[in-house]
Amino acid sequence: MISTVINQELSIEYPIFQGGMAWVADASLASAVSNAGGLGLIAAMNSNGEQLRAEIKKCKEMTDKPFGVNIMLMSPFADEVADVVIEEGIKVVTTGAGNPGKYMEKWLEAGIKVIPVVPSTALARRMEKLGAFAVIAEGGESGGHVGELTTMALVPQVVDAVNIPVIAAGGIADGRQVAACFMLGAVGVQVGTRFLVANECTIAQEYKDKILKAKDIDTVVTGKRLGHPVRCLKSSYTREYTKAEYNSSVVSDEELEAMGAGVLRLAAREGDVKNGCVLAGQVASMVTKEEPCRDIILDLFTEAEKVLGGASKWVK
Amino acid sequence: MISTVINQELSIEYPIFQGGMAWVADASLASAVSNAGGLGLIAAMNSNGEQLRAEIKKCKEMTDKPFGVNIMLMSPFADEVADVVIEEGIKVVTTGAGNPGKYMEKWLEAGIKVIPVVPSTALARRMEKLGAFAVIAEGGESGGHVGELTTMALVPQVVDAVNIPVIAAGGIADGRQVAACFMLGAVGVQVGTRFLVANECTIAQEYKDKILKAKDIDTVVTGKRLGHPVRCLKSSYTREYTKAEYNSSVVSDEELEAMGAGVLRLAAREGDVKNGCVLAGQVASMVTKEEPCRDIILDLFTEAEKVLGGASKWVK
């Protein structure tokens, strides 16, 4: 089976992370992914310190395998959750939406492996200098907050830029894509969208149904004008938003910002997928089945092993 | 060496196409790529019928290897160039920016292999039904006119959607990316940006220099508001354009359209890379050396063979 520095050093079975999706990645999903042989991640984005601590404690009751926490650096609670992960003995922290520099020293002292999500070679290099164990090079085909560079373009450039392991994210929903990421030089993958419809994922059924029905051209990026683009499924909400986005002299940045507030929670937790925002990657259309996390991981790696094993068939 | 249905059926040495880049892909570049073992393509976009005929005749003098013509279906000259390729005995036609349906019957009767560029599974299926020999699944990380789906997300979905060969395009500048595309199910690649700096490419040196100096985050997509997005390198031109694009109640669609007229020719042919538009893919930052087409193709496939040959090292 596939084995790299990632699963070996993190004491997990397969080199796969579950994306730290806000309003999605709770103890239920994270523990299920960890029990299934990957690295589950609790998203700290929408939690204050004590809420995160409660979720971590819950997760510890649901699995004895390693799991991590994803910290969104823009969060107003970033300072307190940065301490909670230390106090709770979390071994892996992934970070998004910014530079985790101010927390690195204490995390490293606590023995935490820090693995930042990076959208560019410059940030990857900075993270390596600060002591990151690895980086997650995330392409803009992923769901949620996205960078401009795609997985195909970004991963090999990050691999060349740093000497630490690189995990690929964005556009990965089957074993062919896992194998492709290995060809690009990655030694692990992070998967988000496919785990949205895992049995153990607690989001609203309406959200899952929208993923299951998505076609290949159904995602759109909103929020570029404000400098924080987000990929989601097209809906009446995104049509309204896009119209407003292109009308900067009528709809101010503040008004546009307000249009984005609370819309993910509305879709993920209340199931309002019309007025809410259904974050998803471009591979939503490849996700067609609800199943346990274990089946998802086995399917990904069984196919990847087969594809990688047969790679030399092209070379005559 | 790597060998697939693409090089075998088209009687070329390597399964690689040079992108049919407007104002770039002339007889000089196309013949050089064909002489180097790939499939060179003349871009018909900016030519009327007689101009294209002259370029084809010139190319025939420069190579005795097969080469093709790329027809941009939005061109006002599409009808006449569609006949010229038949009259000149061209064996491969690639198409972009639309549905080549109205020309398919006469092209197929003339024995031409038609290979449309597709940004989605729906268009891929339609092209297969019309008799396309193969499709080029082009991800949005490519330069010039782009679709939304990235190579990583698009290629396997197109592979699953059709029973004809799939060529991958977008984000391919080195052998790792060629290998990754094969993992995704492609049996050939199309490369654009890297050929921009080929010795045999006749564009202005200023354009080449801008490619050679590009960083990973230097491309931007303009034109989304008008429904025909284009990827290019950031410049004072793109900054002005983007500002106008987000201001729909002040800058009309017609005015925005006018801002895009002639800007590619200005950059590619006159070397004005400040007021002109330098089309390029996200991998521009991986292109760091001017060299002959033959060296580019050998480098791509030597590395791809090595990477594919070693793929099974991950599987323990």
Query: Can you tell me the mean pLDDT for B230-236?
Result: 95
CB contact under 8 A, B4 and A314: yes
Candidates B179, B247, B286; nearest CB to A183 = B179
Candidates A153, A219, A308; nearest CB to B315 = A308
Q: Is the pLDDT of residue B60 over 70?
A: yes
What is the three-class DSSP state of A70? strand
Q: Is the pLDDT of residue A259 over 80?
A: yes
Place B74 in a pLDDT band, splitting at 50, 70 and 90.
Answer: confident
Place B253 in a pLDDT band, splitting at 50, 70 and 90.
Answer: very high
pLDDT for position B294: 98
Query: Can you tell me the mean pLDDT for A75-90?
Result: 95
Instruction: Please tell me which residue, B13 or B99, carries the higher pLDDT value.
Output: B13
Nearest to B31 by CA among B55, B63, B7, B3: B63
In terms of phi and psi (left: phi > 0; alpha: psi -120 to 50; beta: otherwise), the region of B197 is: alpha
Q: Are A293 and A195 in contact (CB under 8 A)?
A: yes
CB contact under 8 A, B176 and A184: yes
Query: Measured between CA atoms, how close is A123 to chain B, in angstroms?
Result: 11
| Mean of per-residue pLDDT scores for chain B | 95
Q: Is the pLDDT of residue B97 over 80?
A: no
Which chain B positions have a beta carbon within 8 Å of A308's beta carbon? Answer: 183, 311-312, 314-315
Q: Is the pLDDT of residue B48 over 90?
A: yes
Q: Is the pLDDT of residue A302 over 70?
A: yes
In Å, how far are A313, B44, B81, B156, B292 from B74, measured between CA atoms? 39, 11, 12, 27, 32
pLDDT for position A74: 86
Q: Is the pLDDT of residue A316 over 70?
A: no
Q: What percent of chain A has pLDDT over 90?
A: 89
pLDDT for position A272: 96
| Mean of per-residue pLDDT scores for chain A | 95
Residue of B nearest to A157 (CA): B286
Element (H, E) at A130: helix A121-130
How far is the C-alpha of B126 from the C-alpha of B132, rounded, in Å? 9
Q: Is the pLDDT of residue B313 over 80?
A: no
Query: Can you tell me the mean pLDDT for B252-281?
Result: 94
CB contact under 8 A, A311 and B286: no
Whether pTM > 0.90 for this model: the answer is: yes
What interface predicted TM-score (ipTM) does this complex get? 0.95
How far is the C-alpha of A49 from the C-alpha of B137, rounded, in Å? 46
pLDDT for position B273: 96
- Tens-digit pLDDT profile for residues B153-192: 999 999 999 999 999 999 999 999 999 999 999 999 999 9
Strand order in the sheet with B67-72: B16-18, B189-191, B166-169, B135-138, B113-118, B92-96, B67-72, B40-43
Place A1 in a pLDDT band, splitting at 50, 70 and 90.
Answer: confident
Place B306 in a pLDDT band, splitting at 50, 70 and 90.
Answer: very high
- Tens-digit pLDDT profile for residues A185-194: 999 999 999 9
Query: Can you tell me the mean pLDDT for A39-49?
Result: 92
